[in-house]
Amino acid sequence: MLHKPALLMLDDGACFEGSACGAALEAAGEVVFTTGMCGYQETLTDPSFYGQIITFTAAHLGNYGVNSHDDEAPSPAAQGAVFHDLFTGAEEIPFPHWRAEGSLNNKMREAGLTGIHGVDTRSLTLHLRARGSRNGVISALDLDKPSLLRRARELPSMKGLDLAVRASAGRHYVFVPEEKMNRPALARPLERPEEKFKVAVMDFGLKRSILLHLHVNGMEPEVWPATATAEDILASGPDGVLLSNGPGDPEPCGYAIRTIRDLLGKKPIFGICLGHQLLALALGGKTYKLPVGHHGMNHPVKDARTGQVTITSQNHGFNVDPDSLPPRVFPTHWNLNDGTLEGLASSGEPAFSVQYHPETSPGTWDAHYLFPLFRRLIIESGKPLGGKYAQA
């Protein structure tokens, strides 16, 4: 099966040859690239990749296997995966890594995730960087290029797609970590460690690591579906609200924007990734689609208040327009690669957000301090951050 021919066809006619891996079927979606050197299991199960085909720029993937601890969601969220060299040397024997419980290829096959390996991913990445993210189709079933091109061109643009409802678990539950889950280390000792705070988490495509970070920082997560109303959330008596990551275009998510607008000023709010974009829209800002998007765990971000630079993990195709923000909302972080906005806070309400992923998984621990900052905001009874933002 690993030598069965497969094609990746982009909607501009560029075609890349390789061999099928995972579930040797078909996949269709927006083709993007991620620059992480490891963390492929966390990447493939990150719900922010819903509707996308992920190209891994790292040359060798699958070399340390997979396990039952590192999934960010119960099943892969991506539509498909593209590899240069997929390690398949231990398909039928115990995997040569102490944490491994199986191979990446077998996990993809069992989950129904289609992939292609043996691809010139350097050429593909340079093509996407020059032309922008493109829609595409992976197929091991239909190798007729005109047919694949027609189907790739029929796929809808990511702009205008509301994917948060599809990526959300769609149910209300209280999060209790299982014993097998890896607990992240605390960024710093807890302030008033004897106190626990209830946090309502709006699930737009939530990563499990966000819930674990809240838990170890003395906050008890109660998860709500993407379509939850402010009335339902407030009736549960939370001490704060977290707006999760997720996929797609934020602007069509009017239901979420209305809920966030109704929550502003009533409870402290912390937004991550899509949650950051939705908070900006609720505050009166605007968003736009990036030509390529930010996907990986090596993006440098500068704190506008302190000048400190952190290396961040990112996964998004849309961004907040800083010129659209109202006067009471101020930028807090900037991307040093392309100058895009990476964080904001409101001087009128207790609300702040970041475009990157402070929970990482995968990535560095540089931004873990944002969870204690959220806890402090709750402890201070929801006073607006203002100039205190950088003092966490």
Q: Is 38 a catalytic residue?
A: no
CA atoms within 13 A on the CB side of 134: 23
Q: What is residue 381's predicted lDDT score, i.e. its pLDDT?
A: 72
Neighbours of 140 (CB within 10 A): 23
Give pLDDT, residue 93: 55
pLDDT of residue 97: 78
Q: Which of 346, 291, 360 is nearest to 319 (CA)?
A: 291
Pick the catalytic residue: 42, 273, 342, 349? 273
Residue entry with tokens 């990482």: 360
Instruction: Map out the domains of the chain with their CATH numbers.
Output: 5-154 (3.50.30.20), 164-391 (3.40.50.880)
**Is 316 an active-site residue?**
no
Catalytic residue among 276, 299, 359, 368: 359
- Tokens (6 digits) for 361: 């998984």
Cβ contacts of residue 61 below 8 Å, gap of 6+? 40, 83, 84, 85, 86, 87, 104
> Other C-beta atoms within 10 Å of 170: how many?
11
**Token pair for residue 369?**
């301090």
- 3 by Cβ neighbours in 10 Å (0-12 / 13-18 / 19+) ranks as exposed
Residue 382 pLDDT: 60
How high is the mean pLDDT of the chain? 93
* Residue of 30, 14, 28, 26 lying closest to 126 (CA atoms): 14
pLDDT in tens, the chain (392 residues): 577 999 999 999 999 999 999 998 999 999 999 999 899 999 999 999 999 999 999 999 998 999 988 999 998 999 999 999 998 765 555 666 788 888 999 999 999 999 999 999 999 999 999 999 999 999 999 999 999 999 999 999 999 999 999 999 999 999 998 876 777 878 778 888 899 999 999 999 999 999 999 999 999 999 999 999 999 999 999 999 999 999 999 999 999 999 999 999 999 999 999 999 999 999 999 999 999 999 999 999 999 999 999 999 999 999 999 999 999 999 999 999 999 999 999 999 999 999 999 999 999 999 999 999 999 999 987 665 554 444 33
Q: Among residues 127, 213, 333, 357, which one is catalytic?
A: 357
112 C-beta neighbours (distance < 10 Å), count: 12
How far CA 181 is from CA of 67, 71, 131, in Å, comes to: 11, 10, 40
SS3 state of residue 338: coil
The model's pLDDT over 128-164, given as tens digits with 9 standing for 90+, comes to 999 999 999 999 999 999 999 999 999 999 999 999 9
Question: Residue 46 corresponds to which tokens in the numbers above?
Answer: 């990150």
Helix or strand or coil: residue 348? coil
Q: What was the pLDDT predicted at 3?
A: 78
Cβ atoms of 169 and 223 within 8 Å: the answer is: yes
Tens digit of pLDDT for each residue in 162-191? 999 999 999 999 999 887 677 787 877 888
- Mapped onto helix, strand or coil, the DSSP state of residue 361 is coil
Collapsed DSSP state (helix, strand, coil) of residue 42: helix
Known catalytic membership, residue 359: yes
Q: Indicate left, alpha or beta for 235 from its phi (over 0: left) and psi (-120 to 50: alpha).
A: alpha
Residue 349: per-residue pLDDT: 93
Residue pair 207/314 in contact (Cβ under 8 Å)? The answer is: no
* Tally: H helices and E strands in the chain: 10, 19
Pairing of strands 351-354, 341-346: antiparallel
